Amino acid sequence: MKKIIFALMLLLSSVQLFAQSNDVEMADALRSNGKIYVVVICIVIILLGLLVYLFSLDKRLKKIEKKSSDKN
Amino acid sequence: MNKIWWKILGSVLVLYTAIAGLLLGVPHLAILNETIRNLYFHVPMWFAMLTLFSISVFYSIKYLLYGKESDDIRAIESVNVGIIFSILGLVTGAVWAKFTWGQFWSFDVKQNFTAVAILLYFAYLVLRNAIDEEQKRAKISAIYNIFAFPMMVVLIMVLPRLSDSLHPGNGGNPGFNSYDLDSRMRAVLYPAFIGWSIIGYWIYTIRFRIRTLENKQNL
């Protein structure tokens, strides 16, 4: 009986090892390569934010240009 | 300040920080890993915001002293640009926190208080829109601005240091000195502070010029 239990325990522990070696697919692309892509995201956010802001400024300026051309 | 040299200086400094920030060596730290490079992009946003809000408070005081309308426009436009930088700082900080602290918003002291500080400036904008009469609006909002500025500085720089925070340099330690901000990082971070402040100032002057034109047309 003891031997069987011991064998079972060994078997179970090997199952655990097997599970560990199995690659579990996780969404950790952003954590790869030393998390450098987090920096990339932050730079993209800053650039996007400033570009969107630039577009809104451009729109305002266009309105003024239209108005001044109407007057003349 | 219509000369071009300072605009070129700002552009060159920001370009330098983007290149050097990604290529130069950084201290090897666990958990942070390469995200320590975010320091060159996240923190300068806050510095640019501080610069713009300081400009705003300067012109608010000037308005109360001399009552010139252009000073009032300068104050409001620099707050407008400062808020953009603060939002960028908040969002980049949240993304950075997600991959180092585990959550976008972990109700850290500094996170909460910066959000409150931004709300203070939103209140400034709301206050301005609520008053129709121009001189009254300029005067009341200038006074509000002068009170909001020290509140913002206390909320962002002082209170988080008095309690435990996930941000570095808190719990009694000043700045980043306790952290691993070595000389290599200083060589990128300080130019980034100056560069982004100049870029913020540049956007503010553009907004100021547009607003002046608009006011001239509406007369």
The total number of structural domains that make up chain A: 1
Partner residue facing A46 (CB), from B45, B214, B217: B45
- Residues B128-181 have pLDDT tens digits of 999 999 899 999 999 999 999 999 999 998 888 787 777 876 655 545 554 556
Tell me whether residue A22 is in a domain. no
CA distance B208 to chain A (A): 11
Determine contact, residues B41/A43, Cβ cutoff 8 Å: yes
Which of B42, B214, B217 lies closest to A42 in CB terms? B42
Q: Is B167 helix (H, G, I), strand (E, B) or coil?
A: coil
Indicate if the alpha-carbon torsion angle B180, B185, B190, B192 is positive or negative: negative
Whether residue B52 contacts residue B206, with contact meaning beta carbons closer than 8 Å, is answered with no
Burial class (CB in 10 A: 0-12, 13-18, 19+), A70: exposed
**B186's tokens:** 């200083």
Cβ neighbour number for residue A15 with a 10 Å cutoff = 10
Q: Mutate one of B11, B24, B29, B33 to test the A interface: name it (highest A CB count within 10 A).
A: B33
Helices (H), B27-182: 39-66, 69-100, 109-130, 134-153, 159-162
Domain that holds residue A35: 29-72
Q: Does residue A12 sit within a domain?
A: no
- Going by pLDDT thresholds of 50, 70 and 90, the confidence category of residue A7 is confident
The reported pTM is 0.84
Confidence of residue B50 (pLDDT cuts 50, 70, 90): very high
Query: Is A3 part of any domain?
Result: no
CB B146 within 8 A of CB B57: yes
Question: Domain for residue A1, yes or no?
Answer: no
Instruction: For residue B201, give the nearest of B72, B58, B53 by alpha carbon.
Output: B53
**3-state DSSP assignment of residue B103:** coil
| Helical (H) or strand (E) element with B174 | none
Q: Which residue reads 């690659």 in tokens? A: A23
Q: Is the pLDDT of residue B215 over 50?
A: yes
* pLDDT tens-digit series, residues B56-96: 999 999 999 999 999 999 999 999 999 999 999 999 999 99
How many helices (H) and strands (E) would you count in chain A?
2, 0
Kindly state the greatest CA–CA separation across chain A: 104
Flag if B37 and A53 touch (Cβ within 8 Å): no
* 8 A C-beta contact, residue B160 and residue B113: yes
Q: What is the DSSP letter of A33?
A: G
Model pLDDT for residues A12-64, shown as the tens digit of each residue: 666 555 555 556 666 677 777 778 888 899 999 999 999 999 999 999 999 98
Contact status, residue B75 vs residue B63, Cβ threshold 8 Å: yes
Contact of B72 with B57, CB cutoff 8 Å = no
Contact A36 B34 (CB under 8 A): yes
Q: Looking at A21-35, B5-19, B28-42, which range is the least confident one?
A: A21-35
Name the token pair of B76. Answer: 């409001």
Among the partner residues B33, B207, B210, nearest to A34 by beta-carbon distance: B33
Q: In this predicted structure, what is the pLDDT of residue B165? A: 78
Confidence of residue A5 (pLDDT cuts 50, 70, 90): confident
Domain assignment of residue A19, yes or no: no
Distance of alpha carbon B49 from alpha carbon B85, whole angstroms: 6
